[in-house]
């Protein structure tokens, strides 16, 4: 009985709407137009994306030569700075300006990836009096260059000198890098010892504690 009622209602609905041209055709036309509109939107978005990518690529191509020019400009500026600093080191006597010039020259040559020349000027800067901060600064720079070149014992020697002669920032810096040196030599106990000597308020304290934590974890893994 309920089925008959359903089919009766469906038949009435079909006659009234589905088979009624005045209703059916506008509905179909509306659906067709909706599909066309969606297609147009999708096509427009795709074209817009392509256009954005094209603009981005063109902008990148335009910027690349500018970047190259900036690099060349920096090289030019470094060259001019080197000439001015060389005038300073040619002055007679051993003024503080000379030692500053040596350190700055070393830094500039490092930027130009000329380590040997940089080391030459750093060795000059290291001749500064002990109470002049250029001395420990230049020794730390030298130590770090040695580390990069795999000359670990020479680096440790530089850092040991600073640890013995200086306090505060320079000592903590030297202790931190000495710790890394000992890790590179696989001398874990000396590495931990160096890290633990760093003062609590040092900028290197957090990193030193992290390094100790990593070392301890690795030791535990080896035991297992």
- Say whether 197 sits in a helix, a strand or coil: coil
Annotate 138-173 with b (16+ C-beta within 10 A) or e (fewer).
bbbbbbbbbbeeebbeebbbbbebbbeebeeebbbb
Asked if pLDDT for residue 187 goes beyond 90, the answer is yes
Q: What distance in Å separates the CA atoms of residue 158 and residue 209, rounded to the nearest whole number?
A: 23
Q: Distances from the Cα of 196 to the Cαs of 75, 83, 84, 129, in angstroms?
A: 42, 44, 43, 29
Structure confidence by residue, pLDDT tens digits, 51-94: 434 443 343 344 444 334 436 667 778 888 888 888 877 777 77
Question: Quick one: average pLDDT of 99-119?
Answer: 90
The owner of tokens 């500053």 is: 100
Q: Are 192 and 219 in contact (CB under 8 A)?
A: no
Asked if pLDDT for residue 157 goes beyond 90, the answer is yes
Asked if pLDDT for residue 48 goes beyond 70, the answer is no
Q: Which residue has the higher pLDDT, 22 or 195?
A: 195
- Say whether 191 sits in a helix, a strand or coil: helix
Q: Which residue has the higher pLDDT, 120 or 216?
A: 120
**Of 44-58, 136-150, 208-222, which one has max mean pLDDT?**
136-150
In this structure, the chain runs to a length of 224
- Confidence (pLDDT) at 1: 47
- Confidence (pLDDT) at 84: 83
Question: Quick one: average pLDDT of 220-224?
Answer: 63
- Confidence (pLDDT) at 217: 86
Q: Which residue has the higher pLDDT, 117 or 61?
A: 117
What's the whole-model pTM score? 0.64
- Confidence (pLDDT) at 9: 53
- Say whether 93 sits in a helix, a strand or coil: coil
- Confidence (pLDDT) at 70: 39
Asked if pLDDT for residue 168 goes beyond 70, the answer is yes
Asked if pLDDT for residue 219 goes beyond 50, the answer is yes
- Confidence (pLDDT) at 96: 83
Question: Quick one: average pLDDT of 7-34?
Answer: 52
Q: Are 185 and 155 in contact (CB under 8 A)?
A: no
């Amino acid at each position: 009985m309920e089925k008959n009622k359903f089919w009766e209602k469906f038949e009435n609905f079909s006659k009234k709407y589905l088979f009624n041209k005045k209703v059916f055709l506008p509905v179909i036309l509306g659906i067709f137009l909706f599909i066309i509109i969606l297609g147009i939107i999708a096509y427009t978005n795709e074209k817009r994306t392509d256009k954005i990518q094209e603009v981005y690529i063109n902008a990148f191509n335009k910027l690349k030569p500018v970047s190259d020019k900036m690099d060349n400009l920096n090289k030019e500026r470094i060259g001019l700075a080197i000439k001015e600093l060389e005038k300073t080191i040619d002055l007679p006597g051993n003024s503080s300006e000379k030692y500053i010039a040596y350190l700055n020259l070393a830094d500039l040559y490092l930027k130009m990836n000329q380590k040997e020349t940089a080391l030459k000027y750093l060795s000059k800067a290291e001749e500064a009096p002990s109470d002049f901060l250029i001395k420990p600064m230049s020794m730390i720079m030298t130590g770090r260059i040695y580390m990069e070149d795999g000359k670990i014992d020479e680096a440790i020697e530089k850092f040991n000198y600073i640890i013995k002669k200086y306090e505060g920032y320079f000592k903590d810096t030297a202790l931190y890098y000495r710790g890394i040196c000992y890790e590179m030599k696989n001398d874990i106990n000396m590495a931990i010892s160096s890290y633990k000597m760093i003062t609590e308020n040092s900028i290197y304290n957090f990193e030193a504690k992290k390094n100790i934590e990593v070392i301890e974890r690795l030791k535990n893994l080896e035991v297992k």
